[in-house]
Structure 1
Amino acid sequence: MAQSQGAVAVDIDDVTKLYGNFTALSAVSLAIHDNEFFTLLGPSGCGKTTLLRCIAGFEDISQGAIRLYGDNIADLPPNHRPVNTVFQQYALFPHMDVTRNVMFGLLRLGRSEAEARARAGEVLELVRLSEFANRMPAQLSGGQQQRVALARALAPNPKVLLLDEPLSALDLKLRQAVRLELQQLQHETGITFIFVTHDQEEALTMSDRIAVISDGKVQQVGSARDIYEEPDNKFVADFIGETNLIDVSVAEIAGDKALCTLPGGTRFTCPAARGAHSGQGHLSVRPERVSLADPAGALLTGTVTRLIYLGTDMHVDMRLSDGESITARVQNSSQTTIPAMGDTVGLDFEEGAARLLVD
């Protein structure tokens, strides 16, 4: 994947978008780098597609600036912005074959028939559809139609490609295959991709960096590893993958460390997110970082309430002394001893795995 360095391709500076009294985006600032696969991730209605449409020019911003390689494009109409968009619905022309679909935008830009046809051939080869050049859209699978839409968007060689949940109409296995193709395509073209999704697995597997968005605000920006391993707040920890959120009493914060009291009374030092404070707080610890142990001397003890077999793993759900629930994800192997329902077990965390969050 591309490295998040170098020139800033898209600079989103304090952008707010209002629809009457409703704030869809609130003072959003992001710097998206040249040749970066950047993902806007969040639940439905969080503002991620609105932000993409503002970059494309389909929505006006209420305040702030959007710069493309240093030039303010906030007042430019969509057709004057050197960006292209791939939508959820591919919107291919059913009466045109694949080549003519890809040529369409080039012809509208004033390219000659010969030049447009030659460029269409190049991008169809890039997306591995050369043998389907003369087929009609109805003769293609969903994945092939998606690649035609990509080829059409890439044909004018945009500086930035915007992708609005383009995989959502595909079935799971096809979606997984196309993720890899998209990642490879971004690498081969060197074009900055800005990808919108609500699917955390898509974001984690494809992106150089991710911006997690909720209620029109950026919650955290970082690599997939940063977002997963070091979430800043409860929303990010809970939205990205699975996590246990444990109520704790925080005695003090010293630098990036916190001294906490766990349910049951054990005092425990752990990493703290920037902005965490003393008083009541929440620890986040991923299920795969929770290990089963002898109750004597363990950080926590719990009673097994449910066992869920998942093939390679077993989810062990437990209830703590204060009534909270916690889950451990244990790999199934001949060396693993799985407790029974109703057993009392000890729980330990991997070093550095528990993190005090900002509420």
Structure 2
Amino acid sequence: MPEQGPNAIEVREAVKRYGDFTALKRITLTIEDNEFFTLLGPSGCGKTTLLRMIAGFEDVTEGEIFLFGEEIENLPPNKRPVNTVFQNYALFPHLTVLDNVAFGLEMRGASKPEARTQAGEMLELVQLSQFAGRKPSQLSGGQQQRVALARALAPKPKVLLLDEPLSALDLKLRKAMQLELKHLQRETGITFIFVTHDQEEALTMSDRIAVMSAGELQQLGEARDIYERPRNMFVADFIGETNLLDVSVDAIRDGRAICHLGGGHELTCNAVDGIGIGAHVHMSVRPERLFISDAPTESESLKGTVVENVFVGTDITTIVDLADGPNFSVRTSNSDRGNKRIFEAGAPVFVNMELGAARLLVD
């Protein structure tokens, strides 16, 4: 088995302060070579600050950042083998698409013919060869974004940093560009570090995700792991939709926690280290892991009444009120397959949970 090389990025106990304000609080994480890695979190959580520290646009107050095993604190941005794609594309309006892509290569010492050849190859990669002679103003937003990508990829950086590059695009184009970005990352083999506040965007593209809040790393893992097994209430609530329930742990038997929801309702889920009998904690249950019936099933069933049905295109969300207990949101695919039944408002029903759907949250 070949020896594995150094990680693309290692962040060790990184802190960033602006006066009395601490933007990043001892962040430690590793980004592997040839990985599509996403920094995900709400505005102001510190994700762009961390990206700028990797790029060299911000100094590290405390801690260290390593790029392929080398400490880069004193390495200026133009000496780092990284490139950045910004939200606003930053294309030169007076240059053609080809010249925009070739510009950075010429600044790095490539001859004009060599730069234009490499730029042409990059435009072919992003499927814009036919627009090489146009100006940016003659392109759509999505096409301009692909020019910016081609320009950033042309020098063949070891790491590409992407700071919410799709935020200005409409929804349909954003979804198309998500798939295109992932394809480009696989095609080039370059490590991508992507910043976004859009959960679906992160889940669609990423090999791994670092969820951040208030300058702290909340959870790091593969997309499915973070979605299915959130560590705490912030991650459960921020990633996708969920039913967040206040519960008390009444008993623990054979690794299973019996939890009281109020109104005499109980649910059973896997026990979690650090949560003992008598604890008052939160439970997360994804709405697509629930289904409704007019009689209890062999799975756990909670009796309630349908409040309303909300049509959301691909799915129907049903709100069910448990007597003296919480409301549940249940998501059902908008399809005739599977003999699914939609119950009208006011109908008595049972909310049934798939095995393993409920998860206790540590905090």
With structure 1 as the length reference, what TM-score do the two structures score?
Answer: 0.93
Q: Distance in 1 between matches of 2:210 and 2:83?
A: 20
Q: Aligned residue for 2:61?
A: 62
1:292 aligns with 2:292: yes
The residue type paired with residue 148 of structure 1 is: V
What's 1:185 paired with?
184
State how far apart, in whole Å, the 2-side matches of 1:140 and 1:87 are: 17
Is the 1:6–1:33 Cα contact (8 Å) retained in structure 2? no
**Which whole-Å CA distance do the structure 2 matches of 1:241 and 1:99 have between them?**
40
The one of 299, 315, 318 aligned to 1:316: 318
- Structure 2 counterpart of 1:245: 244
Most deviating of 171-180 and 322-331: 322-331
The whole-number CA distance in structure 2 between the counterparts of 1:203 and 1:256 is 32
Equivalences for 1:30-45 in 2 at 5 Å? 30-45=29-44
Q: Is the 8 A contact 1:263 1:300 kept in 2?
A: no
Q: By how many angstroms is 1:292 displaced?
A: 1.3
1:301 match: 303
Give the C-alpha shift of residue 6 in structure 1. Answer: 6.4
Q: What are the ranges of 5 or more consecutive residues in structure 2 without an aligned counterpart?
A: none
What is the rounded CA distance, in whole Å, between the counterparts of 2:117 and 2:274 in structure 1?
55
Runs of 4+ residues over 6 Å off in structure 1 = none
Q: Which runs of 5+ in 1 are unaligned?
A: none
Offset from partner CA, 1:193-244 (integer Å, 9 cap, x none)? 0000111111111110111111111111111110111111111111111100
* AA in 1 matched with 2:344: A
Q: Is residue 262 of structure 1 aligned with residue 257 of structure 2?
A: no
Between 114-123 and 274-283, report the one with greater CA deviation: 274-283
Aligned residue for 1:8, secondary structure, equals coil
CA distance in 1, matches of 2:253, 2:26: 31
Deviations 1:91-121 (A, max 9, x none): 1001111111111111111222222112111
* Higher mean C-alpha displacement, 289-298 vs 57-66: 289-298
Correspondence for 1:326: 328
**Amino acid paired to 1:289:** R
Q: Which whole-Å CA distance do the structure 2 matches of 1:100 and 1:117 have between them?
A: 7
Q: Tell me which amino acid in the other structure corresponds to 1:281.
A: V
Partner Cα distance (1:254, 1:81) in 2: 55
Q: Distance in 2 between matches of 1:44 and 1:161?
A: 21
Partner of 2:353: 349
**Which SS does the other structure have where 2:264 is aligned?**
coil
Change (3 A) 1:274 1:25: farther
Aligned-partner Cα distance in 2 for 1:281–1:183: 38
User: Which residue does the alignment assign to 1:79?
Assistant: 78
Q: How does 1:4-153 map to 2 (within 5 A)?
A: 7-153=6-152
Percent of residue pairs identical: 63
Residue 112 to residue 277, structure 1, CA distance change in 2 (3 Å): farther
- 2:141 and 2:171 map into 1 onto residues whose CA distance is 12
Give SS of 1:299's match.
strand
Distance 2:320 2:192 in 1: 42
Q: Compared with structure 1, are the counterparts of its residues 236 and 275 closer, same or farther at alpha carbon in structure 2 (3 Å cutoff)?
A: farther
Work out the CA distance in 1 between the residues paired with 2:22 and 2:276. 29
Which deviates the most, 313-322 or 84-93?
313-322
* CA drift at 1:336: 2.3
User: Match for residue 344 of structure 2?
Assistant: 340
What is the alpha-carbon distance in structure 2 between the residues aligned to residue 272 and residue 12 of structure 1?
32
**TM-score, with normalisation over the residues of structure 2?**
0.92
Query: What SS is found at the alignment partner of 1:262?
Result: strand
Deviation at 1:337, TM superposition (A): 2.3
CA shift at 1:123, angstroms?
A: 1.0
Shift of 1:293: 3.1
Cα distance change of structure 1 residues 185 and 146 upon mapping to structure 2, 3 Å threshold = same
Structure 1 counterpart SS, 2:186: helix
- Tell me how large the CA RMSD over aligned residues is: 1.9
Q: Distance in 2 between matches of 1:111 and 1:254?
A: 69
